[in-house]
């Protein structure tokens, strides 16, 4: 029975291969949590998501700022159009020094040579600047990008909370297992002395050999429990290093102890709990969804508004043709007005409105659920504290009884069966106490997660 109690709190520990390191690093609970925050891969990815969201905000913002593009276009014309302006009067062909007749004038008219419009090979350089003057979707999109960034920040905060909580649970487990190992080692040492004394008494005929054998069986069982608990302790240490983002081969030691940490889970730590749960990160994430749904509705409404943009263009040929009627500079405004979409825009707006209602319903449901969880968690914590207080007293009393029986046995005032039973009850009380400590720590962590502590 006592063996089941002792290993109850170690369930769920991850079994990883461990190695030996030359340097031992010591961590308090807070230091272990901070180390995990800085090195945990999941948290690092969440931080990158925040940075990506920050760049997304600027990407959206830049859409409404001036945009300048430059393009170059090379073209080759296989057939160049020609234009002719008709015959012209060649004054040099008129006779001089004699009267000019009508026939002389007609003979002086010559056909104009054809003029090519354009060049066979040419390159056009075009520079265009645009500026968004008014766009409803752009305004809403800018707000949505900021909301998206806020959601990424909340996801990072949630990752931090979960990492700290997981590290704390494993840290507590390592301390509990370490204390259990110390208790079992002490019990083994005490029982070994009792076995040795009993064997000496059996040699001189004061007790039967069966007594020594029974004590030796009990000693073997406790030694096996101690060995198993040491393996669980090493596995829990490996899990802690994994959560902290450390190499399994490195050696660590915990600088905090259970007595110090028990202060942090006393009932006085809940004196500042408020009825509202606005600081709960899960509720904040749902609130982000409501905000995004609201912006989606605004976006669909903004599609009914016109869009206005300004532009300016400069164009130039590297080689100017003889005739070029295309302007080199031009500026203007572009107005787009949505007129008719066969009800498509209205249907999208109605869908967004319904989605917003769903998000609001989800928010209220999550909030009510958290209020219920908080009430239950506080009740579980109260029960766990009362159980812990009782089991602590039982452990101390069982240890006192066991030590008394050991003294009495050494003086011949108690039987070996009394010693074995007292030892079993002591170890059972230790297992019950450790299980109560785990339950208390978990109850405290659950309350802290709900209230956003």
Task: Report pLDDT digits (tens) over 370-410.
Answer: 889 888 988 999 999 999 999 999 999 998 998 888 888 77
Mean pLDDT of 204-210: 68
Facing residues of 253 across strands?
26
Whether the CB-CB separation of 129 and 311 falls below 8 Å is answered with yes
Whole-number Cα distances in Å, 212 to 194, 202, 206, 218, 411: 9, 7, 11, 10, 16
Binning pLDDT at 50, 70 and 90, where does residue 188 land? confident
Rg (CA), the chain: 44
Distance CA 451, CA 218 (A): 47
**Residue indicated by tokens 């903004």:** 302
Distance CA 132, CA 212 (A): 95
* Least confident among 113-127, 136-150, 371-385: 113-127
Q: Name the pTM for this structure.
A: 0.72
pLDDT in tens, 224-234: 988 999 999 99
Region class of 231: left (phi > 0), else alpha (psi between -120 and 50), else beta: alpha
* Least confident among 110-114, 177-181, 432-436: 110-114
Whether the CB-CB separation of 428 and 1 falls below 8 Å is answered with yes
Q: What is the pLDDT of residue 14?
A: 34
Whole-number Cα distances in Å, 143 to 103, 138, 158: 84, 9, 23
Whether the CB-CB separation of 148 and 50 falls below 8 Å is answered with no
Q: Which of 78, 81, 77 is nearest to 114 (CA)?
A: 81
Structure tokens at 231: 């393996």
Q: Which of 433, 439, 435, 450 is nearest to 270 (CA)?
A: 450
pLDDT score of 258 more than 90: no
pLDDT score of 275 more than 70: no
**Residue indicated by tokens 């070994």:** 192
Q: Which of 129, 142, 137, 130 is nearest to 309 (CA)?
A: 130
Distance CA 183, CA 425 (A): 13
Binning pLDDT at 50, 70 and 90, where does residue 214 land? confident
Task: Compare 279 and 28 and report the one with higher pLDDT.
Answer: 28
Q: What is the pLDDT of residue 175?
A: 92
**Residue indicated by tokens 């059996």:** 202
Q: Which H helix or E strand runs over 130?
A: strand 121-134
Mean pLDDT of 46-54: 91
Task: Compare 97 and 303 and report the one with higher pLDDT.
Answer: 303
Mean pLDDT of 280-309: 90
The HSE-up count of residue 101 (CA atoms within 13 Å, CB side) is: 3
Other C-beta atoms lying within 10 Å of the C-beta of residue 32: 27
Task: Return mean pLDDT, the chain.
Answer: 83
Task: Compare 286 and 8 and report the one with higher pLDDT.
Answer: 286
Q: What is the pLDDT of residue 240?
A: 94
């Amino acid at each position: 029975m006592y063996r089941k109690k002792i290993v109850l709190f170690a369930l769920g520990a991850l079994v990883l291969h461990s190695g030996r390191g030359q340097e031992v690093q010591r961590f308090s609970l807070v230091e272990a949590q901070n180390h995990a925050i800085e090195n945990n891969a999941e948290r690092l990815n969440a931080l990158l998501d925040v940075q990506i969201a920050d760049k997304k905000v600027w990407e959206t913002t830049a859409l409404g700022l001036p945009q300048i593009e430059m393009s170059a276009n090379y073209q080759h014309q296989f057939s160049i159009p020609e234009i002719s302006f008709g015959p012209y009067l060649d004054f040099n062909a008129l006779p001089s020094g004699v009267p000019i007749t009508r026939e002389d004038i007609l003979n002086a008219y010559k056909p104009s040579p054809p003029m090519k419009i354009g060049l066979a090979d040419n390159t056009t350089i075009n520079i265009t600047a645009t500026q968004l003057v008014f766009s409803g979707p752009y305004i809403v999109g800018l707000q949505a990008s900021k909301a998206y960034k806020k959601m990424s920040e909340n996801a990072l905060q949630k990752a931090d909370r979960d990492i700290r909580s997981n590290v704390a649970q494993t840290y507590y487990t390592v301390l509990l297992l370490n204390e259990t190992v110390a208790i079992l080692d002490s019990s083994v040492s005490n029982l070994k002395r009792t076995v040795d004394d009993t064997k000496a008494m059996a040699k001189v005929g004061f007790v039967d050999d069966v007594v020594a054998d029974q004590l030796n069986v009990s000693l073997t069982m406790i030694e096996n429990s101690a060995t198993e608990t040491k393996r669980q302790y090493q596995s829990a240490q490996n899990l802690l290093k994994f959560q902290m983002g450390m190499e399994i081969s490195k050696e660590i030691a915990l600088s905090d102890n259970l007595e110090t940490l028990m202060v942090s889970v006393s009932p006085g730590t809940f004196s500042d709990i408020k009825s509202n749960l606005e600081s709960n990160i899960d509720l904040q994430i749902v609130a982000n969804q409501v905000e995004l749904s609201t912006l989606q509705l605004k976006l669909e409404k903004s599609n009914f508004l016109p869009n206005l943009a300004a532009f300016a263009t400069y164009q130039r040929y590297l080689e100017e043709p003889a005739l070029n009627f295309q302007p080199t500079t031009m500026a203007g405004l572009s107005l787009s007005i949505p007129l008719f979409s066969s009800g498509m825009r209205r249907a999208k707006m109605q869908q967004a409105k319904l989605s917003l209602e769903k998000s609001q319903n989800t928010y209220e449901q999550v909030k009510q659920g958290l209020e219920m969880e908080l009430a239950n968690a506080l009740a579980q914590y109260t029960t766990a504290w009362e159980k812990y207080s009782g089991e602590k007293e039982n452990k101390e009393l069982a240890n006192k009884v066991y030590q008394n029986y050991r003294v009495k046995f050494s003086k011949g005032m108690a039987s070996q069966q009394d010693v074995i039973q007292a030892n079993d009850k002591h170890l059972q009380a230790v297992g019950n106490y450790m299980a109560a400590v785990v339950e208390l720590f978990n109850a405290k962590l659950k309350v802290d997660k709900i209230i956003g502590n």
